[in-house]
Structure 1
């Protein structure tokens, strides 16, 4: 990661913070993009672009271009921004499906579309998306979320095919991630079986590294200890 320039969407969330901190500890420069307001001033090694709605293509492009201008180039885009809803088809509405599509598919699409020209110039451009194990076979109440993450899987494969030889595009498919929010919503679960954010960060950063130059179009399960 030494000297690499990474853009991380959802950088102020539980997973985003761990990925950013781990990358920075290994010598990377990080541009963090988030819907939440920025929490710190820009430095030579880090810039936070807050209050960005990545479901809006114009806002996504403005933020990505600002990151590229700040550092002079982009080497990797890590699409962590997204959301989750648990809702059965019978009890829900189409609004949840639209919201999940916007938060999970369109954020990744808009950020990727804006970043690809910059990444192609890198010579070692990388995109890493966040899919989901739950999108491989959806359970009750998982329809809106699983459908959107399945869309992320297909987006990953399509971009990998379209940009082969120029930019690698892969996705990690975690099971439940061990975050404070997930512990709060599932207090009786066995947390020891969940994926720790640092464990997931290790896989993400491998895919963003030079060592993963021959890996593209992969959907990599990170299933924890289930």
Structure 2
């Protein structure tokens, strides 16, 4: 049957490109989905028998299922699914265009759904496999000016928590991966789409904060190659975690957010419990 087979979406750049390289370097095989195959050509030349690059729009569920079935048939198996494709739409919520907001969910949430629906029949047939859902620090926190992105990642995490419970009895383990900021083009990409100014003066502070964050591109703490190595190690764990933050900024941000949530939960516990029915036991 040969070595293990990974499916990596959003494979042409950033974490996806780094992960494809690390997986191939480990001796495994990769089905890499992308809209632009050019960045993967050096790897295709170096690993012609172990890398299948599939140019497909993963928001097109029907086409995705056909091409993925063909790619899996070519390798004879599928073992690890990495839902990595995504982007960020930045800006104050009131200023976001409805079409742009829906497009954010189409890529970050519904495309991941399409990938899962196409891949899970193969994993179920094998009664084994790993699903790595690439979320973000934003999947556990929030930030002014990032409502669309954080909403899409919270949705992905909500799906993944329930999915993990459904798939575990079938021998399929799910991990939500929550990277912090990494030195990729991700931040520069959303920054390049920011409007020149605020449509509403009340949101000038939000635009200023986004501009400061965009100005930090290239100074992020996360290393995409080291993140990719962590994902390869994660896929080998016999008992993987449900969630895995990547980067010290993700660790600190999530720990602070959960601490604040727990403190607030306890502070208002009396009011919360007061809503129980009098006859509840």
Structure 1 length as normaliser, TM-score? Answer: 0.88
Question: Separation in 2 of the partners of 1:157 and 1:181?
Answer: 25
Question: Separation in 2 of the partners of 1:148 and 1:14?
Answer: 19
8 Å CA contact 1:30–1:46 kept in 2: the answer is yes
Tell me what 1:47 maps to: 52
Which stretch shifts more, 172-181 or 187-196? Answer: 187-196
Q: CA deviation at 1:183?
A: 5.6
Which stretch shifts more, 145-154 or 198-207? Answer: 198-207
Which stretch shifts more, 79-88 or 18-27? Answer: 79-88
Gaps of 5+ in 2: 192-212, 253-281
Question: Separation in 2 of the partners of 1:137 and 1:187?
Answer: 18
Tell me what 1:30 maps to: 30
- Tell whether 2:123 aligns with 1:119: yes
SS of 1:204 mapped into structure 2: helix
Matches within 5 A, 1:54-93: 54-93=58-97
Tell me what 1:109 maps to: 113
8 Å CA contact 2:58–2:114 kept in 1: the answer is yes
- Tell whether 2:195 aligns with 1:170: no
8 Å CA contact 2:10–2:34 kept in 1: the answer is yes
CA distances 1:184-210 after superposition (whole Å, capped 9, x unpaired): 84564285552110122123222322x
Q: Rate the CA distance shift 1:59–1:173 in 2: closer, same or farther, 3 A.
A: same
8 Å CA contact 1:7–1:31 kept in 2: the answer is yes
Question: Separation in 2 of the partners of 1:224 and 1:196?
Answer: 11
SS of 1:170 mapped into structure 2: strand
Which stretch shifts more, 140-149 or 117-126? Answer: 117-126
Matches within 5 A, 1:145-160: 145-160=149-164
Question: Separation in 2 of the partners of 1:179 and 1:29?
Answer: 24
Tell me what 2:234 maps to: 207
Question: Separation in 1 of the partners of 2:106 and 2:82?
Answer: 17
8 Å CA contact 1:33–1:63 kept in 2: the answer is no
8 Å CA contact 1:126–1:207 kept in 2: the answer is no
SS of 2:95 mapped into structure 1: coil
Tell me what 1:223 maps to: 247
Counting helix residues as a fraction of each chain, which structure ranks higher?
A: 2
SS of 1:220 mapped into structure 2: strand
Gaps of 5+ in 1: none
Q: Rate the CA distance shift 1:59–1:208 in 2: closer, same or farther, 3 A.
A: farther
